[in-house]
Amino acid sequence: MRVLHYLECASLLERSGISTAAEQQRTAVERVAGGSESESDGGRDGADPGPESDSRPTIELVTDPWDGSPRSLLSRLRRGESPVIDYDVAHCHAIGPGSVAVARHATRTGRPLILHAHVTREDFRESFRLSNALSRPLGRYLRRFYSQADLVLCPSEQTKRHLEAYPVDAPIESLTNGVDRDSLAGHERFRDPARKRYDLEGPVVFALGNVFERKGLSTFCRLARQTPYEFVWFGPYDDGIRASRTVEYWTANPPENVTFTGWIEDKRRAFGAGDVFCFPTHAENQGIAVLEAMACGKPVVLRDLPVFEEFYTHGVDCLKCQTEREFREAIERLVADPDLRARLGANARQTAHRHALERVGERLLPIYCRVMRHQTT
């Protein structure tokens, strides 16, 4: 079975959770099915997608839907030939023109189409300049775009409820983004170098990911003002026309104990340097960084959101808060109580284990087979 596992504008989305989720799914499928990712080769390799010794299908993942160079694509179009490679299932992770073209091709040629709903109207708000104003028309677009799929996959039941409310007229299933624990291995050895690089001492409260107000930026900075600890946000932020006024303000005028590192090449620096992961986000489809922090055994402090009720338990593998006072008290408890940090961290590792990529792959393989069977019946 050849699966077109497509993320358009991959280089532009490299620093996003969408890119991480798509890459993790490819890894998950390869680990479970023993397939291999490849760029477009203009057609099949001639192998039949028959069952392997363990009765699993052989999966070939391709990431580039376009058959040939730009010049050859134009030539094929002039001859009335399809510029799209041959594939059995299309699985798209973005919502732009490239994904629209692949979706139309799949629909026109009768091939199964899976659209992955990493983007919703709700999590688009408070991200970039004008994102709030654009969220309403975006919701209308997403309703039409996702409704053409044979199956919509999304990271959580909360996201599924959002999509059903639009309403999206297609079957919808939730599938965890998972966590790549191998990519975090050895984070401990980054502790001293990272703390030295960013001039950090004592307890470090940290966050990881793109710096958005939706992620709880203002709460993060106000909490820093109320405590004596170092606060560090590891991740890129916009300072140009796309940046929201809130991001511009806080990154230009951070509290004395707040550091914005910008893009970091290796996320293990964040998990090595940090002691308490603080994630006061206002809206999430799942939150990969939370699972990564848990996989590293870090105590996690979360905003008490419905989406987190699906995955995490207050007092067992995390502490959940609603007000800034509760966040401050939770952070102070964790800093003062090493036994609590250790207990929450150990339980968090077990939670992250339930989202291992092998489990993601075990879900994705039968999904691909199911949509194939459904399309042929």
Do 237 and 171 share a structural domain? no
Kindly state the helix (H) or strand (E) to which residue 103 belongs, with its residue range: helix 97-109
Do 198 and 73 share a structural domain? no
Do 299 and 371 share a structural domain? no
Alpha helices in 4-69 (DSSP H): 17-33
User: Edge to edge, what strands does the sheet with 300-303 contain?
Assistant: 258-262, 230-234, 204-208, 276-279, 300-303, 319-321
Per-residue model confidence (pLDDT) at position 39: 43
Residue 234 has pLDDT above 80, yes or no: yes
Q: pLDDT confidence of 14, banded at 50, 70, 90?
A: confident
| pLDDT 10s digits, 319-358 | 999 999 999 999 999 999 999 999 999 999 999 999 999 9
Whether cis (ω within 30° of 0) applies to the bond prior to 366 is: no
What percent of the chain has a predicted confidence (pLDDT) above 70?
87
Q: Number of structural domains, the chain?
A: 2
Work out whether the CA dihedral 190, 193, 197, 200 comes out positive or negative: positive
Residue 35 has pLDDT above 60, yes or no: no
Residue 130 has pLDDT above 70, yes or no: no
Which structural domain, as residue segments, surrounds residue 167?
Answer: 2-178+357-376
Per-residue model confidence (pLDDT) at position 79: 63
- Domain of 217, CATH number, reads 3.40.50.2000
Per-residue model confidence (pLDDT) at position 212: 93
Do 40 and 64 share a structural domain? yes
Do 222 and 171 share a structural domain? no
Do 280 and 316 share a structural domain? yes
pTM: 0.88
Do 143 and 211 share a structural domain? no
Using CA atoms, how far apart are residues 54 and 293, in angstroms rounded to an integer?
34
